[in-house]
A and B are shown apart, each in its own frame.
Chain A
Amino acid sequence: MRILEICRRGLAFFEMMLLALVMALAAPATAQQPATPVNDRTAHEVASQLRCVVCQNLSVADSPSEMATQMRVIVRERLAAGDRPDQVIQYFVDRYGEWILLAPRRHGFTLLVWLFPVVVVIVGLGATVLVVRRWTRRANVERARPAAVDPSMRERIRREMETEP
């Protein structure tokens, strides 16, 4: 029985060693695999925010060019390496500047691009309301005031009324 126990322990030890060996051997192989599974939608969202550098106003996601294809591969590789979408975008911004972004960022100087149209719309609406109010007020005043009738015209009307059978 004791021999059997020793054999069993030896076997368990051997199994553990074998498992450790397999894991050690498998480690470099798994390191080559994507560390994080890449979500297609995430990769597409990142690519759709980036400008295709060889196109006119097309995103990396939409362009059929070779350069855009290569950039899409880089996006997927970086996401697979564990980068967050904003880190992948920053990777391209570091190399191309904010020009690579199809939509300017909402801070700093480029915030003006986002705010300016809103300000213009508000000012335009305000101006329209003021002008319309002024027009309606003027129209009301003119309606309230009886139209001035020329005395000669009044005399003529009176005469015609009297001669009317």
Chain B
Amino acid sequence: MKRAWRWLIPLSVVPMLALLAYGFRLNPRDVPSPLIGRPASVFTLNTVEGTSVSLEAHRGAVVVVNFWASWCRPACYEEAPVLERAWRAYQDRGLVLIGVDIQDTPDAARQFINDFSLSFPNVRDVTGKVSVDYGVYGVPETFFLDRRGRIRAKHVGAVSEEIFRQHVERLLGEPA
């Protein structure tokens, strides 16, 4: 009995150390979104040029919503050409890609769009409400919406061609 007690104290530390080790291995920035599988919040925002873009108008299409900012280096700069190439490859198949510029100035946003010759619509979330509606906590973040307008996947960080293709192909393959 006495021997068991002697071992109990050092052994009780083991689960605590295991919990700590597990916690340290997790990425604190990798927060699971509660929005996956839920209907995406609709929005109507203006582009830098003042053209109105509405998510509701694209109901029935697979939509990719990408949150970015011109000050977000290097991730947004890495993914901008990837997004443009992906958009050109998929637009004929009915894919809609909307860029949402957050916490930015119009001039810097315009410069970014011009530098990468972005041809897909890019709107500005001036009040931050759309960012909050999508639970955005950094840039870049990319949301993949199915034809029924539900958020099916979220990618945090620069999106690669492979990740983009993987999500979009799956959603385009689903029946309307």
Give residues in A with beta carbon < 8 Å to B.
53-54, 66-67, 70-71, 73-74, 92-97, 99
The answer on a CB contact under 8 Å between A96 and B137 is yes
- Among B27-35, B56-64, B112-120, B161-169, the stretch that binds chain A is B27-35
B133 at the interface (CB under 8 A from A): yes
Q: Verify B127–A70 contact, CB threshold 8 A.
A: yes
- B94 at interface (Cβ–Cβ under 8 A)? no
Distance in angstroms between the alpha carbons of A66 and B139 in the assembled complex: 14
Q: Which 3 A-B pairs have the closest CB atoms?
A: A70-B128, A53-B137, A95-B135
User: What number of A-B contacts does a CB cutoff of 8 Å give?
Assistant: 42
* Cα-based distance from A74 to B34 in the complex (angstroms): 20
Assess the B137–A54 pair: CB atoms within 8 A.
yes
Which of A67, A73, A95 has most chain B Cβ within 10 Å? A95
Chain B min CB distance to A53 (Å): 4
The answer to whether B33 and A97 have CB atoms under 8 Å apart is yes
User: Could you say which of A53, A66, A73, A97 contacts B34, with CB atoms under 8 Å apart?
Assistant: A97
Contact A66 B132 (CB under 8 A): no
How many angstroms from the CA of A54 to the CA of B72 in the assembled complex? 12
Output the nearest chain A residue to B9 by Cβ-Cβ distance.
A127
Expressed in whole angstroms, the minimum distance between the Cβ of A40 and any Cβ of chain B is 21
Q: A53-B137, A74-B129, A95-B133 are in contact. Are A67 and B103 (CB under 8 A)?
A: yes
How many angstroms between the C-alpha atoms of A74 and B127 in the bound complex? Answer: 9
Chain B, residue nearest A68 (CB): B128
Given contacts A54-B138, A67-B103, A94-B34, 8 further A-B contacts (CB under 8 A): A53-B136, A53-B138, A66-B103, A70-B129, A70-B132, A71-B132, A95-B35, A95-B135
> Is there contact, CB below 8 Å, between A74 and B132?
yes
- Report the Cα distance A67→B129, complex, angstroms: 10
* B87 contacts the other chain (CB 8 A): no
Contact between chains at A71 and B128 (CB < 8 Å): yes
Task: Scan B134-167; emit 1 where CB is below 8 A from any A CB, else 0.
Answer: 1111100000000000000000000000000000
Contact between chains at A96 and B135 (CB < 8 Å): yes
CB of B102 to closest CB in A, whole Å = 8
Query: What residues on A are CB-neighbors of B137 within 8 Å?
Result: 53-54, 96
Instruction: Find the A residue at minimum CB distance from B31.
Output: A99
